[in-house]
Amino acid sequence: MPEYIPVLSSRPVERSDAARNRTALLQAAGELMSVHGAAGLTMDAVAARAGVGKGTVFRRFGSREGLMASLLDHREAEWQAAVLSGPPPLGPGAPALDRLLAFGPARLRLHRDQGALIDAAGRAWSENAAVIGFVVLHVRVLLTELGVEGDLPYLANALVTPLHVPVLRQQIDSGQMTEERVLAGWSDLVHRVVGR
């Protein structure tokens, strides 16, 4: 089985002051996002909140879309860190089935929280193949630990797909289903795949 490698860890090494600026800007952007949503996340507002000039924000991210994409990358990296080394049951230390059952709600909430941010990032960010690969690998590893037989790459993809933003929007935002129903259905699917 391949080793887990966080997919967002290949950033070039930054100078310490650049890393501090980046952290401060992303923290400011996250705070603004939680209060005002994606619509309130402007370059001016981020610069003011972080205590830097607007030019610093533009040099760091290039555009508002670039800022959104960086914030999405940052949140994805935090989520991956929780999977790799966070507390159980999402992180290590819990039985594989508990981890798998914790994965669904965690991924759903991440995507529900970030829907507007994903839209605002536009073409500057998409859930790329490396991110999807990490998520599918995680599920595949858990299925392997559970002794599931069959085409594990396909089964892992089948469990991950219902948690993608477009699927969640079609189900939940259209009013067809509640989050609770989606998660109950996802849990039922997990139990059917696992055979328990």
Three-class DSSP labels, 127-194: CCHHHHHHHHHHHHHHHHHCCCCCCHHHHHHHHHHHHCHHHHHHHHHCCCCCHHHHHHHHHHHHHHHH
Domain assignments of the chain as residue spans, ordered by start = 64-194
Give me 129's structure tokens.
């193949």
The neighbour count for residue 103, using CB atoms within 10 Å, is 22
pLDDT in tens, the chain (196 residues): 445 555 554 455 677 777 788 888 999 998 998 898 888 889 999 999 999 889 999 999 999 888 988 898 888 999 999 999 999 999 999 999 999 999 999 999 999 988 888 888 877 776 677 788 999 999 999 999 999 999 999 999 999 999 998 899 999 988 889 999 999 999 999 999 999 6
The answer to whether 143 and 152 are in contact (CB under 8 A) is yes
Alpha-carbon distance of 128 to 76, in angstroms, equals: 11
Residue with tokens 């080793």: 3
The domain 64-194 is placed in CATH, from the list 1.10.10, 1.10.3470, 1.10.357, 1.20.1070, at 1.10.357
Amino acid found at 34: S
